[in-house]
Amino acid sequence: MPSISTKGHRYHRKNIAVLLAIALSLVAGVASAQGKPDPRALLKQVDNLSDFTGRDFSAVFTIVTQKPGEKDSVTQARVFRRDQKKQFLILILLPEVNKGQGYLREDDNVWFYDPTSRKFSHSSVKENLQNTKAKNSDFTLSSFAEDYTVTSMTEGMVGKFPVWVLDLKANTNEVAYDRVVLYIRKDPTMLLKREDYSVNGRLMRTTAYPKYVELEGKLLPSQILILDEINKGEKSQITMAEQSVTPLPDKVFTKAFLEQVSR
């Protein structure tokens, strides 16, 4: 019998070891799951940072664009947004020669207004704003969670900040960039860097968000640096000022208003 008893003890010890291993792995798994957020939820958090649904938003953006061999150009625009109705109005204030030009978004249509010809022409959120590296879409709320699927999520560092690196693939062939890589600071959640890739996988644009301001409980980038990765040396720096969530009259988001303020 002792031999049986010894064998029984051996089986018992083995079972305990297996159970312990399972328990430890479960604990580790749970711990890991608690530390790694759901990528989609993280994307929605990033989208929410720029979402002013239910409120109006306005600010003045100054864009300094540098191109090799050319003098720095300064573009200034006042942006009015009503996210609930997917509306925006961008009114160019500088340079003087383009003063009065504007972009008006109504649903998915973007109109460009030229006060010289007094005509509206069709534009797009994917177009660059004037002669800068910024696109019209850079002044609207982002929709990463809707437009992209996360293909990978890793940890990394941007400067001294630990970040989640989300590699995104476009859900349709109609968003501006087919692949986007986001560098999202872990705590608090805020976008620190973004890389935009072409359809054939070439890095086209890197955007850094070094400064944020708080507005009505939301963190907004007050400084944005856009680097053109195709035409090296070309870059734009955007700074935001006079940000406000004061309600705007409905007429602001009309062609008539754009024509009136452009005079």
Partner 1 sequence: MNTVLPRIAARNLLRQKKRTILLAGAIAFGIMIVTLINGFAGSFIQNVSENFAYLLGGHVFVSGSEYTASGRRISVIRDDSVIMQALSSSGQRWASLQKTSETTATLIFEGKSIRQNLTGIDLAHSTMLKERLALINGSWDNLAWPNAIIVSQSVAKKLNVLPGDTIVAQFQTVTGQNNVGEFRLAAVTVDSTSFIGSIMTYVQLDYLNSLIGLGKGEYMSLGIMLDKLDRSEAFATSLYTSMKGMGLKLFDRSTRESDGSMTPFQAMIQKQNSETWTGTKYRVYTVDDVLAQAKQIVVALDTGSVAILIVLFAIVMIGISNSFRMAMYERIREIGTMRAVGVQRGEIRSMFLYEALFLALAGAVVGIILALIVMAILSLITFDPQSPVFLILKRGHLSFYLPPLRALGNIAIIAVLTLVAVYAPANAAAKMPPAEALRTVK
Stretch 193-212 residues interacting with partner 1 (CB under 8 A): 196, 198-200, 202, 204
Span interacting with partner 1, options 4-12, 51-59, 187-195, 224-232, rule CB under 8 A: 224-232
Residue 205 Cβ, how far from partner 1 at the closest point, in Å? 8
178 binds partner 1 (CB under 8 A): yes
Single out the residue of 174, 187, 214, 242 in contact with partner 1 (rule: CB under 8 A): 174
Cβ-based nearer residue to partner 1, 54 or 69: 69
96 binds partner 1 (CB under 8 A): no
246 binds partner 1 (CB under 8 A): no
Residue 151 Cβ, how far from partner 1 at the closest point, in Å? 17
Cβ-based nearer residue to partner 1, 32 or 173: 173
Q: What are the structure tokens assigned to 216, written together? A: 């009505």
CA distance 33 to 156: 17
Span interacting with partner 1, options 21-29, 147-155, 181-189, 230-238, rule CB under 8 A: 230-238
Single out the residue of 126, 162, 169, 249 in contact with partner 1 (rule: CB under 8 A): 126
- Helix/strand/coil (H, E, C) string of the chain? CHHHHHHHHHHHHHHHHHHHHHHHHHHHHHHHHHHCCCHHHHHHHHHHHCCCCCCEEEEEEEEEEECCCCCCEEEEEEEEEEHHHCEEEEEEEECHHHCCCEEEEECCEEEEEECCCCEEEEECCCCECCCCCCEHHHHCCCCHHHHEEEEEEEEEEECCEEEEEEEEEECCCCCCCCEEEEEEECCCCEEEEEEEECCCCCEEEEEEEEEEEEECCEEEEEEEEEEECCCCCCEEEEEEEEEECCCCCHHHHCHHHHHHHCC
Span interacting with partner 1, options 14-22, 37-45, 141-149, 228-236, rule CB under 8 A: 228-236
Single out the residue of 5, 34, 173, 246 in contact with partner 1 (rule: CB under 8 A): 173
Cβ-based nearer residue to partner 1, 110 or 145: 110
Residue numbers at the binding site for partner 1 (CB under 8 A): 68-69, 124, 126, 170, 172-178, 196, 198-200, 202, 204, 230-234
